[in-house]
Structure 1
């Protein structure tokens, strides 16, 4: 066998190994044996974390995107840096400080992760439960590492640290699967700028819209939420930006400023119908909205942005 053929086989083996890892992760999505634990835990989280400013902050509503993902950089960065320092002489105190900083950073990371996890689809929650278990195990190992270092047992502290980093990286892989394969935290609303041409488009007759009751209409490839209140007509993309719930099946309400809002029927995300802005999470991304006008009895819409 020549060298070129040998290289091809080696690349094929690596591809097969990575595919097996992806297949194993996808198996977690179908692991129904986790569902009972998920039901108990997610119910407890929802009962504890009531709608309000704290819940919205944990989801990341004030920041415009989920808070959990950037917060993970703190413990991961600290603990990886600690591992590097553990390989160098004379860095015991600095490494110990990084382990402690990572544990401190893990607290808000865990809290935001729990909040987001409680409002995911079941397939996402299955992967998320194992992801959380791995990161919790890593945190316990780093706690043991910090305790050993404080007691002067640097060898044991390093061993616990390297074990924690190994588990942490496994959990981080699952977190990547959640974010990039299962799109947890990404906006699931239709991207109107890509799917709708600029300019005005005929939507429907104004007289067919009920007053005060949301309805569903289609514009080309996308579904729209339409709400008429008297002479005012508001139109949003219908797929909720959180996890694509049908907003036209949601509940109409008002915010503290008496502005009309729609509550997603799936996870309770609340948007102002005037401009799609987020009032309450778990959604963090604005709902795409449309300008409207009525011309000769026909509702016309134009995408904004």
Structure 2
């Protein structure tokens, strides 16, 4: 019930589309010249999105800080708030990187999520400055700021959850796709040299690249956001680059060569048998 109400409100926030487009251009301009930093923030090296792992730090620390405030432990609350605030800054950096790969409805939700988190971080900054006596104010004022910041934090976290669990953003598009050891015939059986071609292997759609006598086959659906690699991809060296958001996958193994993707692309063994081309999924 709550999810439907929240989604209904979010879906009516058309203003967020223009704001999101502008923010995305700014973030991409800042991160594109630094691909290694961008991949670090995405979590490509981890094989898992880094942002949701880091967000546990501020949520946990700031929940503890609020509890400590309520039971009259201002010193403990002060340090827990500082840890939470630093965690929010780290989460913001990783979130900005992930934001560059959003579009459509996901970008609208992500824009509102990021704005709520920005306001929450700003309010918590005042709470930290008051607690450490950098800014004049009472403990009561610092606590009030923390309560307001926490409410914004929880609202933003809920929308962040919607991005993942409702819209499927940054989840592995092949999480439920079985491997299996059965060979399947590939149709068609001939392909152009060093070009992307779409092919069928049973119920699965693959993208195939022929180089001399060697065929490379990956699943056609990009693991990052579901784009067709045969239609939206291009061959770059020994990788396929998805033009939707710039992810690259190794032609031979399907491993992520560049983010924003954090999950590998399913790769397939290829053999020729009795005039046919057959494939089966490689073991991870």
Instruction: Tell me which residue corresponds to 1:36.
Output: 18
Of the three residues 164, 169, 174, the one matched with 2:159 is 174
Conserved? CA contact 1:241–1:283, under 8 Å: yes
Q: How many residues are paired up?
A: 278
Instruction: Tell me which residue corresponds to 1:161.
Output: 146
Q: Which has the higher helix share?
A: 1
Give TM-score, length-normalised by structure 1.
0.87
1:26 deviates by 4.2
Give TM-score, length-normalised by structure 2.
0.93
DSSP 3-state at the match of 2:111: helix
Of the three residues 226, 238, 242, the one matched with 2:220 is 238
Gaps of at least 5 residues in structure 1 are: 1-18, 255-259
Instruction: Tell me which residue corresponds to 1:3.
Output: none
Q: Does 1:291 align with 2:269?
A: yes
Name which of structure 1's ranges 183-192 and 169-178 shifts more when overlaid on structure 2. Answer: 183-192
Gaps of at least 5 residues in structure 2 are: none
Partners of 1:30 and 1:245 in 2: CA distance: 26
Q: In 2 relative to 1, CA 38–296 (structure 1 residues): closer, same or farther, beyond 3 Å?
A: same
Instruction: Tell me which residue corresponds to 2:78.
Output: 96
Instruction: Tell me which residue corresponds to 1:82.
Output: 65
Runs of at least 4 residues off by over 3 Å: 189-192
Instruction: Tell me which residue corresponds to 1:212.
Output: 194
Q: CA RMSD in A?
A: 1.6
Instruction: Tell me which residue corresponds to 1:280.
Output: 258
DSSP 3-state at the match of 2:249: strand
1:138 deviates by 1.1
Of the three residues 90, 94, 101, the one matched with 1:108 is 90
Conserved? CA contact 1:189–1:244, under 8 Å: no
Q: In 2 relative to 1, CA 169–74 (structure 1 residues): closer, same or farther, beyond 3 Å?
A: same
1:251 deviates by 1.0
Partners of 1:21 and 1:288 in 2: CA distance: 33
